[in-house]
Structure 1
């Protein structure tokens, strides 16, 4: 079932944005989009989602930024300073060996670096960040995720109410057409008997038609054309489907299976029918069942 929920929060020094969206899917498939530094939250988020959602292709997107409440600590990279000075010393020693006559003392590199010199050198200063505690971060994300799930499920609940009404209307139509088929079945058997009697009479012409033999043959064919069992099962499936509509548990897969059974009973009824009126009703019933099949793909 489709759904959407979104929450924006500022909590405990963090700016947080959390979205949950879902589209129809036969099973539950959950993906989580996170900043790379918070990848350790993925399993916990999926676990919470799986407890509240049973079906659908669900995507959770989290954006999380820590507010800078303290002045960051700055340290001098001592190792880098030593490396620069060592490099200068080595270079001066090489120059002294090449210019041993002392005529080019000004070519030597200065070994005393001032503040302006240090600031121009890369990587000599580094900002020390405070490590974030994983449990502290989760305690910020968890309540926001719960709130987002509530918004998401409320939207699903609203959509589910409309789906329930639509499916119920299709079930009413199927039940009414099933009742019409039940009323037409005796008439179709009698119609078949009359046709059979007239056909035999035409073939035998002036000879006497043996009524008892004709009744026996008609009874055999009527047994083959009987759809009472199919109609009884169809009524049962409709009643069970209505129970599913009132259930608070996930029933999408059960509905999917029940629709297949309803379609099977209707197909059997149509294959047995010798009545044009019943055949027309069967076509309409299959159309209503297909509409239900499309809708239950949205049901969890």
Structure 2
């Protein structure tokens, strides 16, 4: 089952005095690239939260955001009276102004608020973990849905490649006969007598070098293996990428050996289908 690396998940928990919001966004990446944003007071839990997210999402460029909004009377911030008064005194020495205006200016300056450091409440943290679980479920569902779209597209491309490979097989005998006719005509145009047996031996040797039977068999196997891997219970993006490289190698070899315009045209179509698979492959987990 294919999963995409693109996804979004969000969950909100309402506590008695706070509203906790967890958001997860994910894009494609070769490895796990996790960026966490959260209030300073919750940083002590960051490592544990990162491990939970990494274990669930495995790979991708992931943005994790934790928002905590105070909805009750509870607050850990207080005005630092001494600092504010000191700022006001300095401002009054510089320019005249009423106390209200000076206070507005002072409150915009550093250190006018002091925050008492508190431990994260266990019940609140459990609520955060629950919100994270629901957000992970949501992003996994998003990834699975995107994965189904990718899987359908891959299935279409694989079917097209099978049909094009069938065309290559049908053109193969015609191609070999065309090459034989071309070489015989070239020898005839020289208007020289040649040893028929020696010519036939050289012709067979030349045609054997252009034989694509092995490439056709290997390409068929790779296409089937891609389909089997895609249908497995896990999303194997890297493995599918390696199989795609092998598919491309066989297509390129067939193209280099074709020496026949109609077959080369089919090979170009095969390369086009494979390129579309590779573009989408970048987003597979």
Which TM-score applies when normalising by structure 1? 0.76
SS in 2 for 1:226: coil
Does residue 288 (structure 1) correspond to residue 276 (structure 2)? The answer is no
Of 232, 236, 253, the match for 1:268: 253
For structure 1, the 5+ residue unaligned runs are 81-125
TM-score normalised per structure 2 = 0.80
1:250 counterpart residue number: 235
SS of 1:248's equivalent? coil
Task: Give 1:212 shift.
Answer: 2.1
**Equivalent residue runs for 1:68-147 within 5 Å:** 68=72, 131-133=118-120, 135-147=122-134
- Counterparts of 1:215-230 in structure 2, within 5 Å, are 215-230=200-215
Does residue 4 of the first structure (1) align with residue 8 of the second (2)?
yes
Is the Cα–Cα contact under 8 Å of residues 54 and 250 in structure 1 kept in the other structure? no
C-alpha separation between the residues in 2 aligned to 1:187 and 1:30?
56
- Between structure 1 and structure 2, the one with the greater Rg is 1
1:188-207 residue CA offsets vs partner (Å, 9 max, x unmatched): 111111111111122135x4
| Structure 1 residue 259 displacement after superposition | 1.1
| Number of positions where the alignment pairs a residue of Structure 1 with one of Structure 2 | 248
Matched, 1:232 2:185: no
Kept in 1, the 8 Å contact 2:41–2:120? The answer is no
Deviations 1:165-210 (A, max 9, x none): 01110111111111111121121111111111111122135x4x53
Q: How many angstroms apart in 1 are the aligned matches of 2:260 and 2:215?
A: 16
Q: How far did 1:57 drift?
A: 0.4
Q: Which fold has the larger relative contact order, with Cα–Cα distance below 8 Å and residues 6 or more apart in sequence?
A: 2
Report if the CA contact (8 A) 2:17-2:74 is conserved. no
Partner of 2:139: 152
Q: 1:16 to 1:6 in 2, by over 3 A?
A: same
Counterpart Cα distance in 2 of 1:179 and 1:128 = 72
Aligned to 1:45: 49
- Asked whether the equivalents of residues 251 and 267 of structure 2 are also in contact (C-alpha less than 8 Å), the reply is yes
CA RMSD in angstroms, aligned pairs only: 2.5
Equivalent positions of 1:169-208 (< 5 A) are 169-204=156-191, 207=193
Aligned to 1:247, the other structure's residue is in SS state coil
Q: CA deviation at 1:133?
A: 4.0
